[in-house]
Every structure is written in structure tokens, then in C-alpha cells.
Structure 1
């Protein structure tokens, strides 16, 4: 049973619990959807570990979840961009492009491995989207206390995670083989643990800030 409680799963479960406590009564559907998304994240992570224990490939599970991940993060960015007069067509165009790249990669590798190129492409787009959001709030005339502004911390988590993911995907083969000092773990695995902690820590803080704003 202990094998199911890793750095990743514990961080994700804690973030899920915080989201339930802080966002359960939130009237904004975009914020409340984090509860469902994090529930799916935890379920996929546990299922992935279970498959690994049974010596079965779990890449199909994580590949399918890429669509959920991209949709969730993209829709939240749309929610953040909406006050700046961004149109729904821009969101639909991006999701259409993502699905096209996703399907082409699956066909190209005969559905036989994780969609690394699509994940890398998505990561680059989310890094750009994060930086673009920073530019929007810097130009905005409304004053915000960024240290307690929930969307800012959600985007911070996204930027940290996907910027690191981009680097990991670029150097995937090297990081998969390289060991982290004396540990019997790949450097890529350790790196993603750190990125996950950063992502879900930022999100947890954002949920707490959101809760305090409503109280």
C-alpha cells in the first residue's frame, strides 16, 4: 500500500483536499472545476502506479489524460483572458490545433508510446500563455496585491511546471538514463517530482487566497 503514497500522490492528494475545502462553495465554474480535475489527476496517478505494479504499460493512460489536462488549463486561461476581450474562437482554435497534433503523433507512433512531442508542444504553449498573462496584468490599470491574488498563483504554478516540463521533454532521453547522484531513480523522475510540488503548492496557495477573498 505504501507504494501508492509517493511525493507526487501525496502532493496531489493534499492539493485536492485543499481545493475541496476552499472551492466547494465557489460560484465560479472555472474555479470549482479544479476539484474535478484534481480528483481525476489523483485517480490517474493511482491507476498508473497500479498498472506499473502489474508490469503493464501505463503510457496509454497518461497519453489520454493529456487531452483532459490541456482542456482544463486552456479553459482556465480563457477565463483569465476573457476580461481582456479574448474570444471563444481563440480557445477553440487552440484546442483544435492541439487535438490535430495529438492525433497525428499517435498515428505516427502507431499508438505505441506516450505522446512526448504533443506534451512538449503543449508545455511551450502554456509557458507562452503564462508570460502573456503576466503582460496583461502589468498593463492593466486595476491595482492587485499579487502576493494574495489567486489567478497569479495558479499561473505561477503553471509556468514553473511547464517550463520545467519543456526542458525535460527536450532532454528526455538523457534525463531518463541519467541517475540522480546515488539514487536509483532517473533525473527526469526526480525533476518531475520537484515540478509537481511547485505546481500543486502554488495551486494550493491560490485556492486558499480564493477562499479568503470570499470569506
Structure 2
């Protein structure tokens, strides 16, 4: 049996098989069993539940869920120069699934860990982009990024920046294995890169489209 149930896993966690057992929000779903199948840095579970169909009959289903925690992301836009600030980094899962080199352009993002979403996104912006966000952030939306298998809920923000706010080099944390380039692009070019496939990251595409629909004034 993987660690994290009765024996602590590598992060000191136990009781990982309890997640989901107490759900009561949907009377048509009754959780029967939760099995931890992988105890890596993130957690893979197999949950068995009974589900009542629209015709009133019940069926037993089993689904695997990948729990990596919740995250936050921000698209930074300079309204005076109409530019956006993105990261560029290697992503092995994209590489192994057909991306030519696995190097993606993305909005800055990270897991919440123990922080609230806005605190987390300000932290990630400083670490990845070297930007200290001086003004308020707008929470554009939150989304379940891959609800068929991944539990993550991603809090998505838009904020303004100027050259004066770039107080550090960015690049991420070396101790976490991050190797990030900071990329500044005209907003219209970033949109064009969505159209031609040079930007393939879902959260970044959604935020660029949100900003395009809302207008690009300060604080949009």
C-alpha cells in the first residue's frame, strides 16, 4: 500500500484516503471507497462511488483523480506600451505528448501551497518574472483545468505592470529546479501566437482572450 494512509508519505501526510469520503453536496453520488494508488509529490487516488442516473437507477463507477493542489496564475499587462509579460520554460509532459521541443510560453503561475490565491500569485510573479506588483489584481475567473481527471482549481488574475515594477531578474527558484526565461511581447503579437500555435498553454490562452474581450485599459 502506498504511504500517506497510515504511514506518513515523503511530505509527512497521512489520511490521504479520507479525501472525498464525506462529500454530501450531491445526493445522487455516494462515495464507497477511496484508494491511494500513488504517493509521489502529488497524489493519485482511485475512488469508487454509486451514482444515480436521471432515470432513477443506480450504477457503480470508479474514477482516478490526480490531486496536485490548487493554483493561481496572472497575466501581466502594461497598458501604456500594450505589452504582456510571460514565462518560457521546458515542460516534459507537453514534450512527450507531441510538442516539438516542450518549451512553452505561459503566464506566471504556481501552486497555492499554504497561501491564499492572491498572495500566491504575487509570490510567483516575483519569483518567475522578477516583478513586484504595486497595484491591485483583478480576479478574472477560476477554472477546473482538466475536470475529467485532475482536481486542480486554478485562480486566474490579470494585473498591470510597468518597467519600474521589474525589480528582479526572475527566472524561478533554482532549488525547485526552475529554469525560466522572461519574455515580453506586444499584446497583439501574443494573440497572433495563439492563432498560429506558438502559444499552446491553456491558462495563458484563456487569460489573453479574457483581456482581449474586456479591453486593455489600466486595471482591466
**TM tier, smaller:** under 0.3
Q: Which has the higher helix share?
A: 1
Structure 2 length-normalised TM:
0.23
Structure with higher RCO (Cα < 8 A, 6+ apart): 1
Structure 1 length-normalised TM:
0.23
Q: Which has the higher strand share?
A: 2
